[in-house]
Structure 1
């Protein structure tokens, strides 16, 4: 067992499915009371059924081994990650601590993606994945499963276990293979080909879009070379990058590489990995992810080029993916709950907001299959781009949420009409038209009155009544 990583998790107090409830109470006590180790033991005895000092010691030592607590005889304290988990009660923080310290958690999630499994079958999956150690504790899989139940990722109908919806989302993210790269480290091309499981040919180009098995854009490799032909300025948190096309070939063309970056300037749909190659080295230094925040075609040195503006992102690929996915997360588990119209200002950092905001258009237009929810049309430009836009129902300028249920896919005309208050939508998804026959434009929209929206087949992606009502209220529509 290398690096001190454990083969088996240690159960906690409260029983499978309730570990985190008791753990949250314990962490609150530790944070507020600064107890000694003896004080922590007494708290556990007073608040759980535990009576054995040895059992309590094992469980607290496990929390220390995963990086949640620090144990000293004269004081027990929360680590910084422990404080983060307690303040946010975000199950992914605790999952990350568990999976980093104990083998098998990702294996269990991946196995359950294929369907329900018994504890024994989960043990077989861990044994097959980690042949480097002997899996000989029959209780091991149940302890893994107990933590996953407590985190809300697994539900159990004996004798089988299955993933919850949040567990399925996490499993899909964890099973997607992101390259393991360290910022500031240098990598040879062969090492990067291994990391990305791809071939770059004779050399890695400046812009290398990579696609998945179905031909969809998966990620982009971006390289700046010292002394290269483009004069890129890469210092600072924001920098410029010149597109593909060397000076000898004249004006830069809209190649596939330039098109891929232009798409990212419109909306961040995939990770963009940025590398820098010094003039005296064949290796590339990894600089982290970047966001394409702007693009323009400008005159430079007597030719037309694509100039992209980049911001460095202080997040990892898995977080980028998670933030993009969060745009389509359910707003509420209970339809009787009224969702907030706006995001909590403290909920996301500036970078996280930008990634979510960039993902919003793609998520919404994809939910509506690239068609206008009002007229049902899907217009294309001569260049083949679909001219459908993602509209916030409760407006972005009022901090409206970047969530698919606060969105409608609309053509430009109906986007304008919706934003200006010519059109609104009833809770039953009927189109409402402003009663202003005296104004020019009324005749253009009046025939839409009481027509039904074209909606996503998935009910969880359809507009939420709370946002529709807020839009009607902003524009003076009476509740139908």
Structure 2
């Protein structure tokens, strides 16, 4: 965990699979993920060390249905037979209350790490375990009688701590760490902007509902200072085009008018034209 914190402090939280497999502890090889399985249980340990969620493209079926339960806690599926040694190691982790690492796929061979996480309940009848993303969640009840305020709290934690960071990394990776409007390539200054906001039913955390934007253009998009047509052409609001101000207004905003978004290489990662149209109509209503 100290190694992951140090690595993340350098501005790149995403780790490659080969880095995880080549990790060493005190001079000895100690892969942080299994070469074949989703649960890593080293021979010298009784409890699991890490769990992994495989990257799947938007719309593709996931090999395991890891999801949020009715109580707001995340669920991680067993790997085959519940008595398999890796699944047993999750039970040991739950019994001892030890922390684990969770590596979440955001691209081919790329993972966003979450740590520490804890196994707070084992649900063998559903072939899954309940996972807490932060210490406060470890004290919530998972027996089906969670209060509404606790459930909403856990849902918010899952959204803020897991879904939003994963969405950001997947979008920025698809756009090759580049602002789709101004081409800025400083990852620390990039956001994953929702086309349809995630508070709305159609605002799904899919790459096709996102655009990689620098913080200035993300804010301008959210404030309807500029909009994007379904064909990817950027429009700046007419009153903004008539303003006279400093170089940021002239070169950062006004110069974007009638330019086209720089799109990802994979067509499946392109913005959904229907979602762009829905958002563009709201922009046009304010022009």
**Larger RCO (CA within 8 A; separation ≥ 6):** 2
Structure of greater Rg: 1
